[in-house]
């Protein structure tokens, strides 16, 4: 495990970052500017971790399977947790680096409140280190390295309402890395009738996942491959915790969709995709939408070509042949595989063009043609 040592002066600076770009036009939001910190300011953007224990080697974080053991003034692999005086603190509390209003289809969530808007936020940091990360500029750095907004949990739901959003999406980087902010914001949003959406790699331990799942309405989990070796080499993780996350979210009643990014020479093995599809079917995920997403060269895999559309089509056919009912292809504009089809009569239920819905043939959650129930939150 790599750890990042900081001195105490740097720790006192966490949360006070450079001014940020335009802030969606909402009057109460403002940038976190470079100021002299008082003790109260320090704790404004820090939060004591919910999950850690003391060990002879330091404080051990228990939020994710990395379980980083940190000595005084060390940060964890996620770059957002620090040992300060023997306790682990999140330094990503109330200081998101990215705020947007997105269509829910962008998450992607195709079977959850279609055509609705989601107030999307991210805090810098991630507990994985994917070579192909599309948001590496914020996921692979610390909250102290990004331009941030001052937006405490008690204000997040107000911004969602201000922009007529039905949900808040914790996304772009990794909500597990800013767990305390995610948890508190989701709990308050639930109290005010706003849905919560978790967009995540699912690399989290069971106890914190079950605790936050009480306030999560929908999730898209990135199942990065079906090989433990590839998880280690491509993502710096392992597969079993992610499979466990899928099972737990299903048990907790969270609407779930799954994304599998098909990376040439890494995750495009069709036999592996078949095994993944078989596992999903055998474990009761036949109604769970599966999104095969096209890879484009970025971050540390700029030398790898984009995924051939023919490979994505083959992956989709395999998954459907194994019994999965709703299988999509993403990042391929104009494909018919972004539409939802009735698993009984095969008529189009929802026709999409990118993030725009062209036609919706649902009635009370059922196919208008044959009355077959379509799994989802409509």
Tokens of 182: 């995610």
**How far, in Å, are 256, 285, 356, 365 from residue 322 at the CA level?**
19, 11, 29, 24
What CA–CA distance (Å, rounded) separates 59 from 54? Answer: 5
pLDDT at 36: 32
pTM: 0.91
Statement: 98-367 belongs to CATH 3.40.190.80: no
Torsion of the alpha carbons at 103, 106, 108 and 109, rounded to the nearest 10 = 10
Half-sphere exposure (Cβ direction) of 24: Cα atoms closer than 13 Å: 21
What CA–CA distance (Å, rounded) separates 324 from 277? Answer: 7
pLDDT at 30: 54
pLDDT at 45: 78
User: 273 and 319 in contact (C-beta within 8 Å)?
Assistant: yes
Task: Tell the burial category of 272 from Cβ atoms under 10 Å away from its Cβ (0-12, 13-18, 19+).
Answer: middle
How do the pLDDT tens digits run along the chain, 378 residues long? 444 443 333 333 333 222 233 345 444 555 544 323 344 544 567 999 999 999 999 999 999 999 999 999 999 999 999 999 999 999 999 999 999 999 999 999 999 999 999 999 999 999 999 999 999 999 999 998 999 999 999 999 999 999 999 999 999 999 999 999 999 999 999 999 999 999 999 999 999 999 999 999 999 999 999 999 999 999 999 999 999 999 999 999 999 999 999 999 999 999 999 999 999 999 999 999 999 999 999 999 999 999 999 999 999 999 999 999 999 999 999 999 999 999 999 999 999 999 999 999 999 999 999 999 999 999
What CA–CA distance (Å, rounded) separates 250 from 242? Answer: 13
pLDDT at 43: 56
> Residue 294: in which H helix or E strand, if any?
strand 290-294
Instruction: Name the residue among 314, 342, 343, 347 with its Cα closest to residue 329.
Output: 314
Q: For tokens 């974080």, name the residue.
A: 61
The domain limits of the chain are: 4-22+37-90, 98-367
pLDDT at 29: 59
pLDDT at 31: 52
């Amino acid at each position: 495990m790599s750890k990042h040592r900081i001195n105490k002066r740097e720790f006192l600076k966490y949360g006070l970052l450079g001014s940020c770009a335009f802030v969606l036009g909402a009057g109460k939001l403002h940038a976190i500017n470079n100021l002299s910190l008082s003790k109260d300011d320090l704790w404004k953007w820090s939060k004591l971790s919910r999950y850690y224990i003391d060990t002879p080697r330091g404080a051990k974080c228990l939020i994710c399977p990395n379980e980083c053991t940190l000595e005084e003034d060390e940060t964890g692999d996620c770059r957002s947790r620090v040992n300060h005086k023997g306790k682990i603190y999140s330094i990503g509390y109330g200081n998101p680096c990215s705020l947007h209003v997105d269509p829910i289809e962008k998450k992607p969530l195709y079977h959850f409140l279609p055509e609705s808007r989601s107030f999307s936020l991210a805090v810098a940091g991630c507990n994985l280190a994917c070579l192909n990360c599309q948001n590496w500029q914020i996921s692979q750095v610390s909250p102290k390295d990004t331009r941030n907004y001052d937006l405490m949990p008690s204000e997040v739901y107000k911004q969602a309402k201000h922009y007529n959003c039905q949900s808040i999406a914790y996304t772009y980087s990794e909500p597990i890395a800013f767990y305390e902010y995610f948890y508190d914001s989701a709990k308050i949003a639930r109290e005010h009738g706003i849905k919560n959406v978790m967009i995540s790699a699912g690399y989290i331990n069971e106890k914190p996942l079950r605790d936050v799942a009480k306030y999560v309405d929908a999730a898209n989990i990135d199942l990065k491959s079906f090989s433990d070796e590839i998880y280690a080499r491509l993502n710096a993780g392992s597969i079993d915790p992610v499979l466990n996350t899928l099972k737990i979210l299903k048990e907790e009643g969270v609407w779930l969709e799954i994304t599998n990014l098909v990376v040439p020479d890494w995750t495009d093995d069709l036999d592996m995709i078949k095994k993944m599809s078989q596992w999903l079917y055998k474990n009761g995920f036949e109604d769970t939408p599966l999104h095969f997403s096209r890879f484009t060269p970025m971050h540390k895999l700029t030398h790898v070509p984009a995924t051939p559309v023919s490979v994505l089509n083959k992956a989709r056919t395999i998954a459907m042949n194994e019994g999965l009912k709703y299988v999509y292809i993403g990042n391929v504009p104009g494909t018919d595989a972004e539409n939802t089809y009735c698993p009984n009569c095969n008529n189009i239920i929802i026709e999409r063009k990118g993030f725009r819905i062209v036609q919706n043939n649902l009635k009370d959650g059922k196919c208008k043609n044959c009355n077959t129930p379509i799994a989802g939150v409509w």
